[in-house]
Amino acid sequence: MTNEHHIVGFRIGAESFGLPISLVHEIVRVPEITAVPESPDFVEGVINLRGKIIPVVDLRKRFGEVKTVPNKKNRVIVVELNGKLVGLVVDAASEVLKLAASAVEPPPQIFEENELNYVTGVGKLDQRLIILVDLQKILQRGDLHRLGELDKAPGTTA
């Protein structure tokens, strides 16, 4: 299995991204999101997913997309990191991809600097490039370390 990467592909704007399928709990349509006061603008709020309160981050905003128009293709990718569930709003998510290890190259040096160090590689699939990301690094930057506190807000059952 080490010669193949199994990833969930998703889109933000015109770009394709991928994350390890082992982190993905499920993919759902965007439900009603309850805003959390004083949270960063890329934190949409929390959702109730089958009785669990889950913080939701808009990856589109986190990745710098200025126009985030909701549409029917938007999805929430529910991932599990360090035993906690987090929802990630993306423009579209539907593909499970298999990339041969030989089709994945290390990230160009520009991605290793500062805020872009969450890129773990670039996969080549047919004529497409898929940017592989490390969610651990994305969700630990800046104010995102507080996400764990959102699911313990007063009045929640988490």
The phi and psi torsions of 46 (rounded to 5 degrees) equal -130, 155
Query: According to the model, what pLDDT value does residue 104 have?
Result: 92
Q: What is the pLDDT of residue 86?
A: 93
Alpha-carbon distance of 147 to 140, in angstroms, equals: 9
Q: Residue 145 has what pLDDT? A: 54
Q: Say what the pLDDT of residue 22 is.
A: 93
Q: What is the pLDDT of residue 154?
A: 45
**May I ask the CATH class of domain 4-150?**
mainly beta
Domain locations along the chain: 4-150
pTM (whole model) above 0.85: no
* Neighbouring residues of 86: CB distance < 8 A, sequence distance ≥ 6: 54, 55, 56, 57, 78, 79, 80, 139, 147
Q: pLDDT 10s digit of each residue in the chain, 158 long?
A: 468 889 999 999 889 999 999 999 999 999 999 999 988 888 899 999 999 999 999 998 888 776 777 788 999 999 998 888 999 999 999 789 999 989 999 887 765 555 567 888 899 988 889 999 988 887 765 445 555 555 554 444 44
Phi-psi region of 66 (alpha: psi -120 to 50; beta: other; left: phi over 0): alpha
